Structure 1
C-alpha cells in the first residue's frame, strides 16, 4: 500500500538577487508537486512584484511572502498587496509577516526597531481587520474619515507569522493561521509547538499550522553539501543579528554557538568545527539525497506539518534544481 504524500513548500531568501532564477524555481516547484512557494523580502527585489509575475506563470502552487517585515509598509499597504496578489493568483496567496531585524528596520527602512513583537501584533491585527472589510484605525486625530479597502478581498486570506522567541510564538498561536520559524533547532520544535498551542488555547481558536523554514544544503558532491551547510550556520550566527544565537542559547546549544563564533572571527570564514556539528544536524537539511530526505522525515516526526525547504542563495541553478528534485514531496515518513 502506498503511503500518503506529505506536503512540502519551497522558500527563497532575500539574498537571492537573480530574479530570473526565482521565477524559474517557482515554476519548477509547481512541476515537482510542492505545495507552496514562499519569497522573502529584504533589501533587494520587491517580493510582491515577483510574486505577481509568478502568479501569471503558474496555476496550482500557493504563493506567499515568506516573510514580509512589518517595518517597510503600513498596514494599509500590506492589506492592499495581499488583496491584490490573492486576486491575481486566483486565491492562492498566503501573507507571511515577521518582525525582521534591527538592521532591516533601522538600516534600510529608517524605522526604530522598538517592541518588535508588539509591532508585529498591531500590524497583523490591523491588516486582518482591513481584509475583513473594516475601516482603518488611524492614530492621527485630525478629523479625516477612516477609509476601507475599495476592493472586496477573498475571505480568510491566510496569515503566517514568523517567530522564534516565546512571546512571538505565543502570538502566532493567538492570531495566525500558521507559524513559520526559521533556523529553529529540530529539538526545539516540540517546545515551540507547546507555546503555539498555549497561545491558541488562550485565544480560543484552532492551533495554527506548524510550518518551519529549513535551510537546504543537499548536493551530489559531499564537499559541496558540507560547504553549503557551514555557510548557512555561520552566516546567520555572525551576520544576521542576535536573534538566532540567542534562540540557540536558550534551547541549550550555546556551547556550539560559541565554538562557531570563535572559529569564524575572520570575515568570510565559514568553518564548522567537529564539536559544533550538532548545529548542522539540528538546523540544516544537508548531505546526500538520502540523508536530506531522512532529515525532512525527522522534522515531521518532531511535529512539523508543512516544512518549507529554503534554498541557498547564489548557487548554480543546476544545483538548486537537483535539491528540489531529490527532496520533492513523496513518502517522507521515517524509515
Structure 2
C-alpha cells in the first residue's frame, strides 16, 4: 500500500489568475503538500505562474501539468527547465504532453502528426541539452538540429551550427513526466520518463497497469516500477451529500468527454469508452457539441464519475482512498481553494 503524496493542481486559468491562489499555495505548503502544478492550453502559460508562486515557497516541487510540445522547440523547453530549476533550488518537474489536433493545429499552427515519434525525439534533445556532452545535434525529422538547407524548408541560410548550452544545469536529470491517456503513450512514459501524469483514471482498472508494464519491460527503460512516479488528477470534494458532490464536478467531465476535441477524435472520451460507457459518451458529446452543456453534464452516470474521483463525506473518501493507495498512483493532484487543501491534507496525509 502506497503512502500517497498530494499535489495542488492549479490547471490553466479561466479568464485570469484563480481567486485566492496565493493563500491556497501557501496553505498547500503549510499542510504538507508535495507539489504544485500549472497547465497551459491557449491562454495562461504553464511556466510563468510557477516562477511567480514558486518564489513564495521553499519546499513545494514545481510541476508543469502540462507544457505542450508544440508550443516550444525542445531547446526552448530545455532552457526554461534549467532556468526554473536553478531559481527554485532544484524543485522543478517538467510535465510534457502532445495536446490534441485542435489546439496544436488551431493555436500553434503546427501539424499534429506522429505524436509518439515526436515525443521520443523531443525527449532525446532535452536530455542532450542538459547533459552538455557537446554541441547538440539531431537528425530527427521533427526537430532537426542544426537546420540546414537540405531540410526542405524555405529560407534556410545554411549558417546554423551545433551549439552547447551556455549554462550548466543545476541537475542533469531534471525529472520529466509525460501526460498520456492512450496505451502507447503511457508505455512511452514508463520507458523514457520519470513519471506519468494521469487524468480520468479509475485506479482499479488493469488497462493502464498493463501499459506501464509494457514500457518498463523495454530495453533501456529509464525507471523501474519502484522508482517511477504517477501523479493522477483526482477531483476531491468533501460533502455530506454524495450526489451533490458529484454535481459539483459534472461540468469538468462534461467538458472533457463532450467538448475536448472533435467527435470521433476526442482522446479523453476514449477513456470512458474503454470503461464501457460508449453509449453514454455518444449522448454526452452530441449534447455538448449542440451547446446543451448542462444536459451533457447531467447525462454522465454518477457511477462513472465516482470511479475517477473522491467525493462525499470524509469517511466515504477515506474508504475509497484505499483503492488509490493500492494502485500504482503515487501522488493525488487535487484542485480547489485553501479549505479544500486543508480537507485533503487531513484525509489523505492524516
Q: What TM-score results when the alignment is normalised by the length of structure 2? A: 0.83
Residue aligning to 1:317:
none
The answer to whether the 8 Å contact 2:318/2:348 transfers is no
Separation of aligned partners in 2, 1:258 and 1:62: 39
Residues 1:322 and 2:321 are matched in the alignment: no
Q: For the structure 1 residues 5 and 168, does the alpha-carbon distance in structure 2 shift closer, same or farther, using more than 3 Å as the test?
A: closer
Separation of aligned partners in 1, 2:53 and 2:318: 27
What SS class does the counterpart of residue 328 from structure 1 fall into?
helix
What SS class does the counterpart of residue 95 from structure 2 fall into?
strand
What SS class does the counterpart of residue 161 from structure 1 fall into?
strand
Residue aligning to 1:136:
136
The answer to whether the 8 Å contact 2:254/2:293 transfers is no
Compute the displacement of 1:92 (Å). 0.5
Separation of aligned partners in 1, 2:93 and 2:211: 23
* Equivalent position to 1:165, from 170, 182, 202: 182
Residue aligning to 1:287:
312
Instruction: Map 1:11-50 to 2 at 5 A.
Output: 11-19=9-17, 21=19, 22-50=21-49
Compute the displacement of 1:116 (Å). 1.7
Separation of aligned partners in 1, 2:93 and 2:217: 23
Compute the displacement of 1:172 (Å). 0.4
What SS class does the counterpart of residue 147 from structure 1 fall into?
coil
Compute the displacement of 1:117 (Å). 2.1
Residue aligning to 1:113:
112
Deviations 1:177-212 (A, max 9, x none): 001111123333x33122212212213432322222
User: How many pairs are equivalent?
Assistant: 322
Compute the displacement of 1:106 (Å). 1.4
Compute the displacement of 1:143 (Å). 5.1
The answer to whether the 8 Å contact 1:82/1:93 transfers is yes
Residues 1:149 and 2:169 are matched in the alignment: no
* Equivalent position to 1:238, from 258, 269, 294: 258
Separation of aligned partners in 1, 2:348 and 2:251: 29
Residues 1:7 and 2:9 are matched in the alignment: no
Return the index of the structure with the highest Cα Rg.
2
Separation of aligned partners in 2, 1:252 and 1:118: 29
Deviations 1:261-298 (A, max 9, x none): 46654433155558722221122222333334444332
Residue aligning to 2:302:
277
The answer to whether the 8 Å contact 1:259/1:275 transfers is no
Compute the displacement of 1:329 (Å). 6.0
The answer to whether the 8 Å contact 1:96/1:159 transfers is yes
What SS class does the counterpart of residue 70 from structure 2 fall into?
coil
Residues 1:97 and 2:96 are matched in the alignment: yes
Moved more, 211-220 or 99-108: 211-220
Separation of aligned partners in 2, 1:63 and 1:329: 22
What SS class does the counterpart of residue 293 from structure 2 fall into?
coil
Residues 1:226 and 2:246 are matched in the alignment: yes
Residue aligning to 2:233:
213
Separation of aligned partners in 1, 2:194 and 2:112: 25
What SS class does the counterpart of residue 80 from structure 2 fall into?
helix
In structure 2, list runs of 5 or more residues that go unmatched. Answer: 138-144, 149-157
* Equivalent position to 2:274, from 250, 261, 274: 250
Residue aligning to 2:219:
203
The answer to whether the 8 Å contact 2:246/2:306 transfers is no
Q: For the structure 1 residues 186 and 255, does the alpha-carbon distance in structure 2 shift closer, same or farther, using more than 3 Å as the test?
A: farther
Q: CA RMSD in A?
A: 2.6
Separation of aligned partners in 1, 2:299 and 2:45: 39
Separation of aligned partners in 1, 2:277 and 2:93: 32
* Equivalent position to 1:302, from 327, 336, 347: 327
Separation of aligned partners in 1, 2:132 and 2:348: 41
Q: What TM-score results when the alignment is normalised by the length of structure 1? A: 0.86
The answer to whether the 8 Å contact 1:105/1:111 transfers is yes
